[in-house]
Amino acid sequence: MTSPSPIIHIDPARSISRVDPRIYSGFTEHMGRCIYGGIFEPENPNSLADPNTGFRKDVLSVLKELNVPIFRYPGGNFVSSYRWQDGIGPKHLRPRRPELAWLTEESNQFGTDEFMQFCKEMNAEPYICLNMGTGTLEDALAWLEYCNSSANTYYANLRRENGHPEPYKVKYWSLGNEVWGPWQVGQMESQDYAKKAFQWAKALKLLDPSIQLISCGETGYSDWDRVTLKKLVPVVDYHSIHIYTVSEGNHAVNVMGPAAAEKALEISKSLIDLAKIESGLDKQVTICFDEWNVWDPVRAPGEKGAEEHYDLSDALAVASWLNVFVRKADIVKIACIAQSVNVISPIITSPKGLFKQTTFYPLKLFATLMQGTSLNVHVGSPSHTGKTVPDWVEKLEKNAGGDEKLTKYIDVSAVLNDSKDEVRLAIVNRHATEGYTIPIRFGPACDVSGGTVQVYEVWSADLKDNNGWDGERVQIVEKQLPWSGEYSVKQHSFQLLVFKVELQ
Ligand code: AHR
């Protein structure tokens, strides 16, 4: 362990960028029990479903606590063999199909119109991922026409016939999902994908110039990202990247994993800059991190529905993930936790009800309070040395020569709220066994007023503590404390501190 003593310096004058509320977005894939048995269960035996829509009332009510601004749909891997036309029109006529991503069957009882209704009820914007596996450009154009067109044309009229006179105005459309992956139906080489996506983008924007397009990236730090950005920066608005972090049963590996996402965002930002330099273009392209979470596919395989049962260590990893997004507010404008219900999710349902996983609570605190302007915080902290996944998280910093480690035990992000009268500080103590007393220093033009700090803490005595049908051991504990200039964090804890401030 190396050891500067923990200390936090915040100067509200040193801002990074506005935190885009869309970083708290969600994802509902036709996978496992996310849609069927998750948000949609018309036949629920305990009357938990809305009789008109079939939506689980309890699930929607709890999801609303997370203020989800966008839902991505319908996959994920699922989309690469999905015929969207199967999921519209009278339900008894919708065909049941083999499903190739998770090797199940798709009943098509939930489709585009049900998803739009779901988004409406959630007061969220829809985001559609296009099928670039078995799907053609013609299918994609038809889907866009069905959703967005107000013309007197075939698919716009079909939407009207299906009872939806007004266009849905779907703004976000992505060009395929993980097209680089060997598991993907329609896997492609980067050059081939880039050429095809370029043509799709041109045609889609001809049909509806108001849409925003998202290119299919990989991790943000791969050659796929470089090649596809070079070709697609002129025609897209966002570049999508995906990363899942794992614990491998090791708490330090779990909580340090999101450091890889921080590097990924730095590298992808540079790759976007490089593509702009090479093309001479002056336009904004930012990152849509549309799949992220803690997921160990060995522990919770996709083919079995990927129902992770998260513990406190996972909640701290999720808090560190969210710290990354707030710190990188300049480049990441949309992020979708994968996924929203049951599948690697903060919410688990049964026909009888639901429970909130440990990871629900940091997500709720961030989505509610970490809004405004991201601040540049200086953190002194001892750092973890030892195993990380990927291993370069530790190697890069060891060889970099500076003292800005990626594996600091004290992991922090901060915002100034929009009314500029609160500084909010999200602090994860990632150390498994050490608590710390941390002096928190504010810049010269910022006074903490009121003499108190409001604290929201997520903690439990055992890192393996989790929530379940027998109760919630990990929740938010709220307290107001006198402010003395320093704050004591427990071992393996997350806390969100809210300071009333006066800026000069
Ligand atoms: O979110 C689960 C799966 O993980 C998605 O379908 C896929 O895009 C990713 O590999």
Q: For residue range 92-116, list pLDDT tens digits in order.
A: 999 999 999 999 999 999 999 999 9
* C-beta separation of 491 from 436 below 8 A: no
- From the candidates 114, 145, 262, 291, give the one annotated as an active-site residue: 291
The mean per-residue pLDDT over the stretch 448-471 comes to 95
291 catalytic? Reply is yes
- Is the shortest distance between the CB of 308 and ligand 1 below 6 Å? no
Out of 35-39, 168-172, 355-359, 401-405, least confident range: 401-405
Provide the percentage of residues in the chain whose pLDDT is more than 90: 93
**Closest ligand 1 atom, CA of 291?**
1
Note the pLDDT tens digit of each residue in 240-292: 999 999 999 999 999 999 999 999 999 999 999 999 999 999 999 999 999 99
Residue 322 has pLDDT above 80, yes or no: yes
pLDDT computed for residue 1 by the predictor: 44
User: For ligand 1, is residue 237 a contact (CB within 6 Å)?
Assistant: no
Cα separation values, 101 from 80, 340, 456, Å: 8, 18, 40
The reply to whether 303 belongs to the active site is no
Residue minimizing CA distance to atom 6 of ligand 1: 76
Given this model, what pLDDT does residue 449 score? 84
Instruction: Say how many C-beta atoms besides its own lie within 10 A of residue 296's C-beta.
Output: 18
Q: Ligand 1 centre from 76 Cα, in Å?
A: 5
**The residue to which tokens 């994908």 are assigned:** 193
Does residue 444 carry a pLDDT above 70? yes
- On the question of pLDDT at 66 being above 70, the answer is yes
Name the residue of 178, 187, 288 whose CB sits within 8 Å of the most ligand 1 atoms, as the mutation to test its pocket.
Answer: 178
- Cα–Cα distance, 141 to 166 (Å, whole number): 18
Residues 394-439: pLDDT tens digits? 888 766 666 678 899 999 999 999 999 999 999 999 999 999 999 9
Question: Which of 323, 317, 300 is CA-nearest to residue 427?
Answer: 323
Q: What is the mean pLDDT of residues 132-139?
A: 98
Q: How far is CA 316 from each of CA 53, 91, 306, rounded to the nearest angstrom?
A: 36, 43, 20
Q: Determine the Cα–Cα distance for residues 388 and 383; give it in Å rounded to an integer.
A: 12
Query: Could you write out the DSSP letters of every residue in 26-44?
Result: EE--SSTTSTBTTTB-TT-
Reply yes or no on whether the pLDDT at 28 is more than 70.
yes
Shortest-distance Cα residue to atom 4 of ligand 1: 76
Choose, from 41, 178, 394, 397, the residue flagged as catalytic: 178
Measured in Å, residue 432 CA sits from the centre of ligand 1 at: 30
Region 41-70: mean pLDDT is 98
- Average pLDDT of span 2-22: 91
d(CA 258, CA 474) in angstroms, rounded, equals 21
CA end-to-end distance (rounded Å), the chain: 39
Q: Is 75 in the pocket of ligand 1 (CB under 6 A)?
A: yes
Nearest 10 degrees: CA dihedral of 405, 464, 367, 413?
-20
Q: Look at residue 401 in the predicted model and tell me its pLDDT.
A: 66
Query: Which residues are CB-neighbours of 108 under 8 A, at least 6 positions away?
Result: 86, 87, 94, 95, 96, 97
User: Whose CA is closest to 25, among 353, 332, 319, 265?
Assistant: 332
- 222-251 as b/e, with b when 16 or more CB fall inside 10 Å? bebbbbbbbbbbbbbbbbbbbbebbbeebb
Structure confidence at residue 189 as a pLDDT band (50, 70, 90): very high
In whole numbers, what is the pLDDT of the chain averaged over residues? 96
Q: Give pLDDT, residue 400.
A: 64
Atom of ligand 1 nearest to the CA of 77: 6
Looking at the predicted structure, is the pLDDT value of residue 58 above 50?
A: yes
- Inter-residue contact 28 to 39 (CB < 8 Å): yes
Say yes or no to pLDDT of 2 above 60: no
What percentage of the chain has pLDDT greater than the value 70?
98
**Mean pLDDT (whole number) for 285-310:** 96
Q: Are 76 and 129 a contacting pair, CB within 8 Å?
A: yes
Handedness of CA 266, 297, 187, 184 (dihedral sign): negative
Find all residues with CB under 8 Å of 19, minimum gap 6, and list them: 326, 329, 370, 371, 372, 373, 374, 415
C-alpha span between 176 and 242 (Å, rounded): 13
Mode of pairing for the β-strands spanning 104-106 and 212-216:
unpaired
